[in-house]
């Protein structure tokens, strides 16, 4: 890769960023398409975020991804938030345009795309969905499912007050997990439970319907306890790499106006994640 003054620079802003698989993924797509661009990870501490976002345009970035804990700041700093970013108050993708910064949230559509790829036919089957978690990922998944036409969405979170801030959902206490599993056609796990270094979670998978589809937003490890128990029951299971892959593909299209090679991206992520 040769970097010049004409190279389009794309950055990942967050804290931390050293663990991210995004640089390997996007740079593989850039190389495969022969684009004059480069993707780099930049750590920005939360205390420096406001000043950093105010000055980013001066550094000549073409676009950016934004991860925790800066997604809300990124949405607020943009002059033109897209519908998902405006509705969620969070952006994970930025594009510098004439006259200002456009902000997008590709997590929501990425979750839907991952389901389309990993569980074809899920839309017709899903009348009722359960989303576990009401953080940034949970709210994005909920919004994406609503846009995809899911009629009823139930949300479980350890703090119901936080879940209640999400509009047009039915909120349940954590203690109602088993009953919620038994009534859902689709179950999406968006908390950090099962992530490397985190507790595995005690999932009542035995209560799930035999026809239920499950998806985990966690991708490290690739085979989470949530997915392992679901597959043990023979349920259709979609891993976290799908959401990561498809939200990244949507961002790539925003920056470069081209659709990247999804199969190549999956291979890169599996290799990087050790899957």
pLDDT in tens, 173-202: 999 999 999 999 999 999 999 998 899 999
Return the CATH number of 108-238, one of 3.40.50.720, 3.40.50.10860, 3.30.390.30, 3.90.420.10. Answer: 3.40.50.720
pLDDT digits (tens, 9 = 90+) for 235-275: 999 999 999 999 999 999 999 999 999 999 999 999 987 65
d(CA 238, CA 246): 13
The yes-or-no answer on residue 267 being catalytic is no
What's the mean pLDDT when you consider all of the chain? 92
pLDDT digits (tens, 9 = 90+) for 49-81: 888 777 777 788 899 999 989 999 999 888 899
**Looking at the domain covering 8-105+244-273, what would its CATH class be?**
alpha beta
Q: Is the pLDDT of residue 19 over 70?
A: yes
The reported pLDDT for the residue numbered 49 is 82
Phi and psi at residue 101, in whole multiples of 5°? -110, 130
Residue 9 neighbours by CB distance under 10 Å: 16
Phi and psi at residue 193, in whole multiples of 5°? -60, 130
Domain residue limits, the chain: 8-105+244-273, 108-238
Give the mean model confidence (pLDDT) for residues 44-50: 87
The reported pLDDT for the residue numbered 55 is 75
Q: Which two tokens stand for residue 100?
A: 């200002």
The reported pLDDT for the residue numbered 275 is 52
Do the Cβ atoms of 129 and 150 come closer than 8 Å? Answer: yes
Q: Is the pLDDT of residue 22 over 60?
A: yes
d(CA 13, CA 70): 8
pLDDT digits (tens, 9 = 90+) for 68-115: 899 999 998 888 999 999 999 999 999 998 878 899 999 999 999 999
Record the pTM. 0.92
Give the largest Cα separation in the chain, rounded: 58
Which residue among 57, 71, 127, 267 is the active-site one? 71
The reported pLDDT for the residue numbered 242 is 95
């Amino acid at each position: 890769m040769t970097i010049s003054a004409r190279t389009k620079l794309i950055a990942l802003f967050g804290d931390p960023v050293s663990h991210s698989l995004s640089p390997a993924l996007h740079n593989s797509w850039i190389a495969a398409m022969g684009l004059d661009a480069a993707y780099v990870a930049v750590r920005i501490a939360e205390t420096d975020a406001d000043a950093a976002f105010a000055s980013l345009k001066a550094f000549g970035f073409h676009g950016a991804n934004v991860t925790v804990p800066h997604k809300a700041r990124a949405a607020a700093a943009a002059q033109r938030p897209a519908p998902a970013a405006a509705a969620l108050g969070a952006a994970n993708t930025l594009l510098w345009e004439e006259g200002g910064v456009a902000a997008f949230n590709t997590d929501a559509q990425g979750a839907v795309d991952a389901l389309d790829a990993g569980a074809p036919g899920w839309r017709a089957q899903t009348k009722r969905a359960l989303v576990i978690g009401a953080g940034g990922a949970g709210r994005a998944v909920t919004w994406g499912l609503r846009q995809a036409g899911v009629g009823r969405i139930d949300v479980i979170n350890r703090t119901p007050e936080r879940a209640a801030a999400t509009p047009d959902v039915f909120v349940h206490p954590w203690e109602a997990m088993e009953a919620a599993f038994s009534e859902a056609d689709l179950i999406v796990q968006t908390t950090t439970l099962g992530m490397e270094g985190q507790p595995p979670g005690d999932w009542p998978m035995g209560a799930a319907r035999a026809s239920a589809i499950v998806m985990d937003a966690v991708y490290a490890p690739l085979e989470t306890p949530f997915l392992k128990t679901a597959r043990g029951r023979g349920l259709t299971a979609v891993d976290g790499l799908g959401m990561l892959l498809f939200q990244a593909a949507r961002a790539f299209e925003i920056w470069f106006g081209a659709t990247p090679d999804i199969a190549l991206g999956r291979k890169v992520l599996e290799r990087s994640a050790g899957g």
